Structure formats: structure tokens, C-alpha cells
Amino acid sequence: ETGVTQSPTHLIKTRGQQVTLRCSSQSGHNTVSWYQQALGQGPQFIFQYYREEENGRGNFPPRFSGLQFPNYSSELNVNALELDDSALYLCASSTDLGNEKLFFGSGTQLSVL
């Protein structure tokens, strides 16, 4: 039990739609990172938020955006969904800016049809 919860567990969307995924971090964890994991692959870094500001971004287009709120919750928004966006989306929280131990949620499985 990592103390990080994600919702929804599963989601089915149609190409072109928009989706919002939610994450609730451990209390006291100021940093949240989002990762995309395609089937059979390792997680790929999307971006990180620290104290409600984007702190770093991976190789993902601007239609992937995020928000972090003061209550340790956060969102990942994806606009104009494409078929290749089908994946498991994981959020991970950590203390301050450290990457030395990430606490992952169970993920949201997104299917784009």
C-alpha cells in the first residue's frame, strides 16, 4: 500500500476526445510525476509537478498537460486523443524534489478506440 490512489481504474475513450485522470498523493509529498506505460514496455516519463508548478517534462506533446493542487491531488489531461495514447498511466509521488523513492499508484488503464 503506497498511499497513492488513482481514478478511474479503467477508461475507454474515442479518438479525438479529451480525458482527465486523477491522482491523490501521499500527504506531505510535494512532488508528483506522471508516467505512461505501453503494453510490454517500461514506464516513460511525461512530466513532474512540484508545489503546483511543472518542474520538468519528457518527450510528450503539449496536448498532455497537468495540474497539481495544494491538497496533494493532481490531474493529467490529454486532449485530442490518439489510438497510440492507449496505455497504463501511472502517477508517482515523492518528498520534495527527490527521485530516490517513488510511490506509485495502481494506474489508470486508458483505451482509445
Partner 1 sequence: SQQGEEDPQALSIQEGENATMNCSYKTSINNLQWYRQNSGRGLVHLILIRSNEREKHSGRLRVTLDTSKKSSSLLITASRAADTASYFCATDENSNSGYELNFGKGTSLLVTP
One residue of 24, 48, 74, 93 binding partner 1 per CB under 8 A: 48
Q: Which is nearer to partner 1, 16 or 44 (CB)?
A: 44
Q: Which is nearer to partner 1, 27 or 59 (CB)?
A: 59
Could you count the other beta carbons within 10 Å of the beta carbon of residue 45? 16
User: Using CB under 8 A, which residues numbered 71 to 90 contact partner 1?
Assistant: 88, 90
Helix, strand, coil percentages, rounded to 5, for the chain = 5, 50, 45
The answer to whether residue 33 forms part of the interface with partner 1 (CB under 8 A) is: yes
The answer to whether residue 53 forms part of the interface with partner 1 (CB under 8 A) is: no
How many Å apart are CA 19 and CA 87, to the nearest integer? 13
